Structure 1
Amino acid sequence: MSGGRRFLVLLAAVALLAATGTLAVLHAAGQARGARADGPPVRAGTVTLGAQPDGPRLVFRSMTWGPDRDELASVPLRHPDDTRTAASAPTCLRFHAAAGTGICLQAVYGLVQDGYRAVVLDAALHEVRHYDLAGIPTRARVSPSGHLVAWTVFLSGDSYAGGSFSTRTSVLDTRTWTLQENLEDDAVTLDGAPYRSPDVNVWGVTFADDERFYATVATGGRTYLAAGDVTRRTLTTVHGNVECPSLSPDGTRIAYKKRVPGLPDDAPWRLYVLDLRTMAESATAEQRDVDDQALWLDGRTLAYALPGDDGTDVWSVPADGSGAPALLVHAALAPAVVR
């Protein structure tokens, strides 16, 4: 075969490959559009973390398959089944917000290596600063004032269900940009006595104010609710068998995951509420396994994620043990109430 003919054959092959690739992309795009059309109604628009003149809104990571997946979306808190408004950026794996400050834990895809980072957002969802993460994002919280931000990542393992995992939890002051990289460096008091052990893990921060917080401390195969102090760098255990705490708006109760004896090892948790004044525990009406850090929608109602057709849905249940669980937002994760 002559050189000219070989060149023409090569050119035709390249053209065929390009056409095939184009058809594949168009087919995938068509599938994505179909998935979007079958999911919750979505419109492009502005999502803000600032004051909401029309009433509180729920802002969350959209789990709808298609072009809106992982974007931040919002719906009216009073009408969560309304058409959701989606912002084209940023995309987040975990998210939380308060007082005009947001924290977005996201995946970063590079030419050489992929990774994760924590992005601090302003009220308009613009990046203020970002920090590289050492592991897989799992929890995020902002203090009520918006001044403190916390996040937890898995350093090893990817589930709280087993015992073979390691976490790192960081707290950032957005006023000074002082970063406390690892709460495990804090002085731990366990059952009233100073405690040190290389197996200590800390995760799931929930803030009371700009100094006090609660978190889970795990050691020796047990978990504890610990009261933390940002300034003194201390963690003091106050109750056992508490994971992923969430403080009520009035600061008197903790919603949390409790390991219940007799449940399967891979689905061991039920959603409970602890009264911090009496240390009395009460179960919610949710009887399914809840592997999430619940959110207080108000002083009476909890929201949390459960597996769904698109990955996760957000459900709600009364905090006092009454009522029954109800689907709040389909195809959603990591909600925050923005008022």
Structure 2
Amino acid sequence: MTAMSTRAKIGVVVASAVLLGSVAAAYVAMAAQPAPTPPPASGDQAVTLTPGSRLLAITDRHLSTVAAADPTGPRTVSGLECLRVYAAAGTGVCLKPETAWSYQVVVLDAALRQTRTIGVPGLPNRARVSASGRMVSWTTFVGGDSYTSSGFSTRTGILDTTTGATVTSLEEFAVRRDGRSYRSPDVNYWGVTFTADDNRFYATMSSGGKRYLVRGDVAARTVETMRENVECPSLSPDDTRIAFKEAVDADPAKGWRLSVLDLASMRVTVTAETSSVDDQAAWLDGRTLAYTRRQSDGQPDVWSVPADGSGTPKLTIPGAESPAPLS
């Protein structure tokens, strides 16, 4: 097979981003570029994932931290290159380049030592760690699936860091849709978020041109649909609410509104963020959401907004993306 040119590869990746609406075209273009030299670290303290009053983010494609009390202030930047990060309870996940066109899921300890590495297909898209630090998940953007007209979809995997058990793709799980067993070759998933018990999770499932919030069970290897038009769920610290991006008029081409679903009442609250948010938001605490918003030239900033629909969006970490609290 003749190797694709760099120009052709970039064209294919950008086209796939438009199809799924799960990766911004600007982000994909930037992911194909060489990593910039990391900015100098502030002070002498090394970056760690030790729980504390700091926020984790990516600065110029490198893992970095800032003080939660002063997120626009000085930041500490590591030499570890990541395209997506998340951390909890001293365990981190970094989706990083292996070569120019291959990527790895790297599990980190609190000192950024690599404890496990998994090669994955496609471009990094989403990453999560359960609150206990035990469970790790990732989503990548892949090509070659015959069931789509362009051959592009996603792959979402889960790793149990305690047992080493690995789910390479959630597509292996049995599906119940609207209370009935459901099978279709076009099922795919993205954006896992774990509950407190480390076994159950929520994610987005797409099939037949629709996107669903699903509730999953790792041990039983099952998922069940809950609601349509819910993408990139993020479970609140108390497991009662899900932040998500909701397609305007159920059409991703019109953009997304950052919203919050109450799991008891299934009532949706739209946040005060009116810009289109193509991200899996993070809960900084029980009241505040953080997320990436891109400028017109594709450069990222981390913003935050109250989860209850009040207030106004606030620029939180300029020139950064992929935020997470170091809880």
Query: How far, CA to CA, are the matches of 1:284 and 1:225 in structure 2?
Result: 19
1:80 partnered with 2:77? no
Query: How far, CA to CA, are the matches of 1:280 and 1:165 in structure 2?
Result: 33
Structure 1 counterpart of 2:245, from 238, 245, 257: 257
Structure 2 gaps, min length 5: 1-35
- Aligned counterpart, 1:276: 263
- Aligned counterpart, 1:5: none
Using the TM superposition, give the Cα deviation of residue 51 of structure 1 relative to its aligned residue in structure 2, in angstroms: 3.3
Query: How far, CA to CA, are the matches of 1:305 and 1:286 in structure 2?
Result: 12
- Secondary structure of the structure 2 residue equivalent to 1:184: helix
Using the TM superposition, give the Cα deviation of residue 44 of structure 1 relative to its aligned residue in structure 2, in angstroms: 5.9
Q: Deviation per CA, 1:11-64: give whole Å up to 9, x if none.
A: xxxxxxxxxxxxxxxxxxxxx89x969xxx945641111133xxx1001111xx
Query: How far, CA to CA, are the matches of 1:45 and 1:115 in structure 2?
Result: 31
- Does structure 2 retain, via aligned residues, the 8 Å contact 1:95–1:105? yes
Query: How far, CA to CA, are the matches of 2:301 and 2:54 in structure 1?
Result: 17
- Does structure 1 retain, via aligned residues, the 8 Å contact 2:125–2:141? yes
Q: Does the C-alpha gap of structure 1 residues 51 and 261 become closer, same or farther in structure 2, counting only changes over 3 Å? A: closer
- Aligned counterpart, 1:10: none
State the number of aligned residues.
286
- Aligned counterpart, 1:173: 160
Structure 2 counterpart of 1:223, from 211, 214, 233: 211
- Secondary structure of the structure 1 residue equivalent to 2:171: helix
TM-score if structure 2 supplies the norm length? 0.83
- Aligned counterpart, 1:49: 49
Query: How far, CA to CA, are the matches of 2:166 and 2:316 in structure 1?
Result: 35
* Structure 2 counterparts to residues 165-314 of structure 1, below 5 A: 165-209=152-196, 210-261=198-249, 265=253, 267-308=254-295, 311-314=299-302
- Does structure 2 retain, via aligned residues, the 8 Å contact 1:44–1:87? no
Alignment RMSD (CA, Å):
2.2
1:315 partnered with 2:306? no
Q: Which runs of 4+ in 1 moved over 6 A?
A: none
Query: How far, CA to CA, are the matches of 1:108 and 1:307 in structure 2?
Result: 25
- Aligned counterpart, 2:5: none
- Aligned counterpart, 1:58: 55
Using the TM superposition, give the Cα deviation of residue 262 of structure 1 relative to its aligned residue in structure 2, in angstroms: 8.4
- Aligned counterpart, 1:100: 90
Letter in 2 for 1:224: Y
Query: How far, CA to CA, are the matches of 1:217 and 1:310 in structure 2?
Result: 27
| Largest Rg, 1 or 2 | 1
* Structure 2 counterparts to residues 144-155 of structure 1, below 5 A: 144-155=131-142
Structure 1 counterpart of 2:115, from 93, 108, 128: 128
- Does structure 2 retain, via aligned residues, the 8 Å contact 1:45–1:87? no
Percent of matched pairs sharing the same residue? 51
Query: How far, CA to CA, are the matches of 1:281 and 1:273 in structure 2?
Result: 6
Query: How far, CA to CA, are the matches of 1:163 and 1:250 in structure 2?
Result: 40
- Secondary structure of the structure 2 residue equivalent to 1:169: strand
Query: How far, CA to CA, are the matches of 2:298 and 2:318 in structure 1?
Result: 8
- Secondary structure of the structure 2 residue equivalent to 1:125: coil
Query: How far, CA to CA, are the matches of 1:170 and 1:262 in structure 2?
Result: 26
- Secondary structure of the structure 2 residue equivalent to 1:261: helix
- Secondary structure of the structure 1 residue equivalent to 2:48: coil
- Does structure 2 retain, via aligned residues, the 8 Å contact 1:163–1:221? no
Letter in 2 for 1:123: A
Structure 1 gaps, min length 5: 1-31, 63-68
Q: Does the C-alpha gap of structure 1 residues 156 and 320 become closer, same or farther in structure 2, counting only changes over 3 Å? A: same
Letter in 1 for 2:65: S
